[in-house]
Structures are given as structure tokens and as C-alpha cells.
């Protein structure tokens, strides 16, 4: 992986930096500036080296044309506050105004261009369309720094194509994330435990086959646990279930047996009458979900207290823990306890702990934990999972 050092002396050079400044906004106000903060290390270093810094990023999912609610303008304001330096903002990504703003830069100056996804070329599946947009971006600078870890698994113009058009290197954020992920895949200290949960069940099942070769224990919570319970022959009421994945999951259970990997499933479940914060709920045995007063209409929204305690004790004895996916619907207080208990266990173990995933990171913050209580909180959920799955990430491959 090429790092900033490989770009040589950057004084008076114009450097394009792909960041992931995709922060959550509510009525134009940034509700979590974590991704802006995570981008500062590289930007500061480039300014100190005398580079002229052109920041590019996406925000949200606009469909290839400008949409005011996805403007990066509020990000420029917050970035300037955090950097304690002016950050110019250009309300277009490529064009005469952008060119003029880049040409006006002096050593150490920073400009942020408008949302990359206002241009259809950014995410186009058509190689030529992507390439054309990447060439327009490349014309702005003499070097490219890839520091948007959250997008390195995407084959997009500003991530993949642009890196091939200029001397390019990984920024500090990407390099740091990679160091942590390598520690998890190459020689993790044992016992190594992975905790999986969340709602994107079929997305995440893929990581399991890869993890089975590497981990000592898998703890399964969140929405995917019901597919496991069903694979073992239990009824799961109205809980999240991916019926077409049952055979795959049975395969994983058999494979785990063969490899001596422990897959720990919850023994008790918080079952609710409906998907609502104030829904009636009770704790029942995991193999008797339909025995709750809600019968077959009940749905599991959290792991129960016995399961949380069991998960916490495995985590306490682990030397390495990777966690992706909340244990339950943590957004509703009645179903947040499993996630809270697992988060607390991570903060208390002596082992090296990594939290990956947008909602998982949001969950630990929402539940009152702070980032420094964990070994590492990844800025990219999809990217970190794909890396752990052993997939090739296009945005990293081009920096090899």
C-alpha cells in the first residue's frame, strides 16, 4: 500500500483528497461530525507540507444531479471550524468556478468541491463515463490521496479511476483502518471472537464462511439470529427471517462443528407484540419464541438477559473482538439492553476491540459510550466487512 511518503515533496503541489464526508444531516444541520473529524489528520499533514488541498466527497445518494439537501456546504463550514483554518467551498464539482477556485489556491490552502454524486459519472457502471468524469477531476491536481475508507469497496470514479490517473497514495485514515483490519485477519491474538448482528442478514452471512476459518467463537445476535434458530428447526414467529438462506446457514453450522469453531446463539429472546417502541414485550426461551403471549405474531427485537450475560462472558475472555451489527433494535429503549451489554463488555475486556458498521458505531455513541473506550471504531461498515470476507476492494487495489 503506497502511503503519503511515496508522493515525495508536496510543497506548492495541488493534491486532490477523496474523503468520506458523508455525515448525517437533519434540516441542514450536521448531527454527527465523526467522519469530518476522521479526515482531519491527513488534511492537516498535507497543509503542513505546503500542499494546496482540493477535497472531494459524496454525501447521501443524489441521483447524478444537484439536489440542495445533499450539498456539502455545511460540511465546509464545520471543517473550517475543526481545522481552525478557512475552507473555501465551490458549489460545483467540475466547471469554470471549480477550476478558478483551484487555481487561486496558495500553499496550505483548502478548498472543498461540491458533492461528487451530483455528477452521473461518479457512480456510473459505464467505464467510459466514469473515466471521463475522473479525467475532469484529475485535471485539478498533481497527486491523489485516497482517504475515504467508507467507499474503498466501491468502483467509482473518484475512488478507483482517479487513482489511476495521477500519482496516488492512501491517506492516514485509510492506512490506519487497514492496519487494524490486517491485525484481525493475519495474526489475531487468540481467543478471537466475532460478534455479528444487525439487520442486513444476507449481506452479512457471506462474511461467516470466511470467518469460520479464522475465529474461535462467533456470537450471533440481531436480525440474523432468527435464520440460525430456524435452521435448527425452531419456530421464530414474525421475527426477521431469510428463508432462502436456511440451507446456507445449516452449512455454516456443520462447517463450524467440523472446524471446532464455537457458534453461540442466544438462549433467550425479547419478543414483542409489534415493531414499536411501546410494544408489549416479554422474555422467552429462544427455542420457544411462539410460546410468548403474542404467539406466532410475536417478533424478536433483542437478545434476552441470559444471552447478553453469556455473550459478555465470552467477550471478557477474548484477546481480540470484532463487532458488527447491533444485538437488537437499539433505537428503541426497550430493545437496547442486549446491545448495551455487549458494548459494555467490549469496553471492559483487556482484549483488542474493533467496532465496524455505521449503525453499530452510532449505537455505541447513542448508548453513551465514547470512542476511546474501544480499540478502534471503523468509519466504514461495508468496507471493513468486505475486507474481512477476503474480497478485493477496488479502491485499495489501485493503491497497491
CB 172 within 8 A of CB 180: no
Return d(Cα 138, Cα 167) in angstroms, integer. 10
Stretch that binds Mg ion, among 90-98, 238-246, 289-297, 359-367 (CB under 5 A): 359-367
Q: What are phi and psi of 168, to 5 degrees?
A: -135, 155
* Number of chain positions touching ligand ADP (CB under 6 A): 20
CB 247 → ligand ADP: shortest distance, Å?
A: 22
Q: Which of 228, 381, 383, 386 binds ligand ADP (CB under 6 A)?
A: 381
- 2 catalytic? Reply is no
CB 84 → Mg ion: shortest distance, Å?
A: 32
- 382 catalytic? Reply is yes
* Cis peptide bond prior to 191, omega within 30° of 0: yes
* Binders of ligand ADP in range 262-301 (CB under 6 A): 300-301
Nearest position to Mg ion, beta carbon = 359
Q: For residue 163, what are the CA distances in angstroms to 21, 142, 212, 270, 271?
A: 18, 11, 34, 48, 49
Q: Is 291 exposed, middle or buried (0-12, 13-18, 19+ CB in 10 A)?
A: middle
Return d(Cα 339, Cα 303) in angstroms, integer. 8
CB 389 → Mg ion: shortest distance, Å?
A: 16
Helix (H, G, I), strand (E, B) or coil at 47: helix
Based on CB atoms, which residue is closest to ligand ADP, 161 or 302? 302
Q: Which of 148, 171, 176, 223 binds ligand ADP (CB under 6 A)?
A: 223
Write down the catalytic residue from 358, 380, 381, 395.
358
Task: Annotate each residue in 300-329 with x if it binds ligand ADP (CB under 6 A) or - if it does not, as one string.
Answer: xx----------------------xxx-xx
Stretch that binds ligand ADP, among 69-77, 182-190, 255-263, 355-363 (CB under 6 A): 355-363
39 lines the binding site for ligand ADP (CB under 6 A): no
Write down the catalytic residue from 18, 35, 154, 204.
35
- 206 catalytic? Reply is no
Return d(Cα 375, Cα 291) in angstroms, integer. 40
- 35 catalytic? Reply is yes
Q: What are phi and psi of 360, to 5 degrees?
A: -65, -45
Return d(Cα 159, Cα 162) in angstroms, integer. 6
- Which 8-state DSSP code applies to residue 265? P
358 lines the binding site for ligand ADP (CB under 6 A): yes
CB 98 → ligand ADP: shortest distance, Å?
A: 33
Based on CB atoms, which residue is closest to ligand ADP, 47 or 154? 154
119 makes contact, choosing from ligand ADP, Mg ion, none, with CB < 5 to 8 Å by partner type, with none
Return d(Cα 371, Cα 228) in angstroms, integer. 31
Helix (H, G, I), strand (E, B) or coil at 273: coil
171 lines the binding site for ligand ADP (CB under 6 A): no
46 makes contact, choosing from Mg ion, ligand ADP, none, with CB < 5 to 8 Å by partner type, with none
Based on CB atoms, which residue is closest to Mg ion, 358 or 395? 358
359 lines the binding site for ligand ADP (CB under 6 A): yes
Based on CB atoms, which residue is closest to ligand ADP, 141 or 266? 266
Based on CB atoms, which residue is closest to Mg ion, 223 or 298? 223
Write down the catalytic residue from 200, 214, 250, 344.
200
Nearest residue to 239 (alpha-carbon basis) of 273, 205, 213, 282: 273
Write down the catalytic residue from 150, 197, 325, 382.
382
CB 185 within 8 A of CB 209: no
Q: Which ranges in the chain belong to alpha helices (H)?
A: 34-48, 73-83, 96-103, 127-138, 162-165, 172-185, 201-212, 225-231, 246-259, 305-316, 337-348, 358-366, 381-388, 394-397
358 lines the binding site for Mg ion (CB under 5 A): yes
CB 46 → ligand ADP: shortest distance, Å?
A: 30
359 lines the binding site for Mg ion (CB under 5 A): yes
Nearest residue to 315 (alpha-carbon basis) of 355, 366, 281, 358: 355
Residues that bind ligand ADP (CB under 6 A): 197-200, 222-223, 240, 300-301, 324-326, 328-329, 331, 357-360, 381
Residues that bind Mg ion (CB under 5 A): 358-359
Active site residues: 35, 200, 358, 382
Amino acid at each position: 500500500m503506497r502511503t503519503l511518503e511515496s508522493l515525495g515533496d508536496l510543497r506548492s503541489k495541488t493534491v486532490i483528497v477523496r474523503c468520506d464526508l458523508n455525515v448525517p444531516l437533519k434540516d441542514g444541520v450536521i448531527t454527527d461530525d465523526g467522519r469530518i473529524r476522521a479526515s482531519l489528520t491527513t488534511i492537516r499533514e498535507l497543509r503542513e507540507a505546503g500542499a494546496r488541498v482540493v477535497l472531494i466527497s459524496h454525501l447521501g445518494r443524489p441521483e447524478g444531479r444537484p439536489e440542495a439537501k445533499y450539498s456539502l456546504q455545511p460540511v465546509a463550514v464545520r471543517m473550517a471550524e475543526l481545522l481552525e483554518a478557512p475552507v473555501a467551498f465551490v458549489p460545483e464539482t467540475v466547471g469554470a468556478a471549480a477550476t478558478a477556485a483551484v487555481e487561486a489556491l496558495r500553499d496550505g490552502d483548502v478548498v472543498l468541491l461540491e458533492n461528487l454524486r451530483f455528477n452521473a459519472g461518479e457512480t456510473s457502471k459505464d467505464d467510459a463515463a466514469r473515466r471521463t468524469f475522473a479525467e475532469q477531476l484529475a485535471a485539478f491536481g498533481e497527486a491523489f490521496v485516497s482517504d475515504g475508507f467508507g467507499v474503498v469497496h466501491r468502483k467509482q470514479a473518484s475512488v478507483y479511476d482517479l487513482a489511476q490517473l495521477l500519482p496516488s497514495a492512501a491517506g492516514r485514515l485509510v492506512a490506519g483502518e487497514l492496519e487494524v483490519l490486517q491485525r484481525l485477519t493475519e495474526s489475531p491474538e487468540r481467543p478471537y471472537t466475532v460478534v455479528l448482528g444487525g439487520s442486513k442478514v444476507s449481506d452479512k452471512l457471506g462474511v461467516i464462511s470466511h470467518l469460520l476459518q479464522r475465529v474461535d467463537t462467533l456470537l450471533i445476535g440481531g436480525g440474523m439470529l432468527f435464520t440460525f434458530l430456524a435452521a435448527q428447526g425452531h419456530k421464530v414467529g414474525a421475527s426477521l427471517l431469510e428463508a432462502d438462506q436456511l440451507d446456507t446457514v445449516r452449512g455454516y453450522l456443520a462447517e463450524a462443528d467440523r472446524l471446532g469453531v464455537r457458534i453461540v446463539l442466544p438462549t433467550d429472546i425479547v419478543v414483542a407484540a409489534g415493531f414499536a417502541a411501546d410494544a408489549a414485550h416479554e422474555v422467552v426461551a429462544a427455542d420457544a419464541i411462539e410460546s410468548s403471549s403474542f404467539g406466532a405474531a410475536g417478533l424478536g427485537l433483542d437478545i434476552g438477559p441470559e444471552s447478553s450475560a453469556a455473550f459478555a462472558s465470552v467477550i471478557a475472555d477474548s484477546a481480540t473482538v470484532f463487532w458488527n451489527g447491533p444485538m437488537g433494535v437499539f433505537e428503541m429503549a426497550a430493545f437496547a439492553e442486549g446491545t448495551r451489554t455487549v458494548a459494555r463488555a467490549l469496553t471492559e475486556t483487556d482484549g483488542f476491540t474493533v467496532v465496524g458498521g455505521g449503525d453499530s458505531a452510532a449505537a455505541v455513541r447513542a448508548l453513551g459510550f465514547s470512542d476511546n473506550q474501544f480499540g478502534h471504531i471503523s468509519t466504514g461498515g461495508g468496507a471493513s466487512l468486505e475486507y474481512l470476507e477476503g474480497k478485493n476492494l477496488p479502491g485499495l487495489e489501485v493503491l497497491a
